[in-house]
Amino acid sequence: MFSNKQKFIIMKTLFLADLSGCQTQEEVKKEIADYFDLELEDLERFAILVGYVSVGSGGCYSSAYFLLEDHKTKQLYEVFGSHCSCYGFEDQWERCVLYPFVNSNLLNFLSDP
């Protein structure tokens, strides 16, 4: 039987592929701003929990994925991007809200008193 007491997972950040050399949120946000043609201010309210960018040779066959958490609301978002041309990820920064059950149940543990 579960109680109403919740324990929250403390998630470390995970930066993969072309972002694997980044050590801080600021470094990753700078990379995101460069790849997606964004202002850094557009990213201030988010923590980047998972960041993945893989740019293929010559810029072709590239893909990106991000899991974001809004600092204030704790809402989780995903962002996907891809391209296989000389253009980049521009105009692909569209956040998709993760379903509420992912936010409330998957990332929280319920425990007995």
12-26 pLDDT, tens digit per residue, is 788 989 999 999 999
Report CA dihedral (24, 30, 35, 37) to the nearest 10 degrees: 150
What CA–CA distance (Å, rounded) separates 47 from 76?
10
pLDDT tens-place string over residues 46-82:
999 999 999 887 767 889 999 999 999 988 999 998 8
User: At a CB cut-off of 8 Å and minimum separation 6, what does 87 contact?
Assistant: none
Task: Give the pLDDT confidence score for residue 110 in this predicted structure.
Answer: 38
Q: Using CA atoms, how far apart are residues 46 and 72, in angstroms rounded to an integer?
A: 9
pLDDT for position 11:
62
Q: How many CB atoms lie within 10 A of CB 47?
A: 16
**Percent of the residues in the chain that have a pLDDT greater than 70, as a whole number:** 74
The mean pLDDT value of the chain amounts to 79
- CA–CA dist 67, 17 (Å, integer): 15
Write down the pTM of the prediction: 0.75
User: How many Å apart are CA 83 and CA 70, to the nearest integer?
Assistant: 26
Residue 28: how many CB atoms within 10 A of its CB?
Answer: 19
Q: Which one-letter DSSP state was computed for residue 62?
A: E
Is the pLDDT higher at 104 or at 53? 53
Percentage, residues of the chain above pLDDT 90: 44
**Per-residue confidence (pLDDT) for residue 113, from 0 to 100:** 37
